[in-house]
Structure 1
């Protein structure tokens, strides 16, 4: 029989807690990053110039978008 078992080794409770805390830290970090990206995008307004001259094929949309900032 294997007599070298330990409850608090990295295979047991300690490893599970480390993995859980690591996943929660990653979740919080990605959530904060996503909220910051959303706030930045929401504050970046743009306007479309010359709507009538936009062609369905062959027109670059970057030529018609102007940042309002």
Structure 2
């Protein structure tokens, strides 16, 4: 029989708690980062110049978008 078992080894409860806390920290970090990216994108408006000259085919969309910053 294996007599070296311990409930507080990294294979037991401690390892599960470390993994859970690590995953929750990653989740919180990515959530905060995503909210900040959305806030920056929502506050960055753009204008369209020369709306009448935009063609359906053969026009570069990036030529008509101007950052309002």
Fold in common (TM above 0.5): yes
Name 1:14's counterpart in structure 2. 14
Name 2:32's counterpart in structure 1. 32
Name 2:56's counterpart in structure 1. 56
Q: Structure 2 length as normaliser, TM-score? A: 0.94
Q: How many Å apart are 1:59 and its aligned residue?
A: 1.2
**Tell me, which stretches of 5 or more residues in structure 1 are unaligned?**
none
Q: Distance in 1 between matches of 2:57 and 2:5?
A: 69
**Tell me, which stretches of 5 or more residues in structure 2 are unaligned?**
none
Q: Distance in 2 between matches of 1:55 and 1:12?
A: 64
Q: Secondary structure at the match of 2:44?
A: coil
Q: Structure 1 length as normaliser, TM-score? A: 0.94
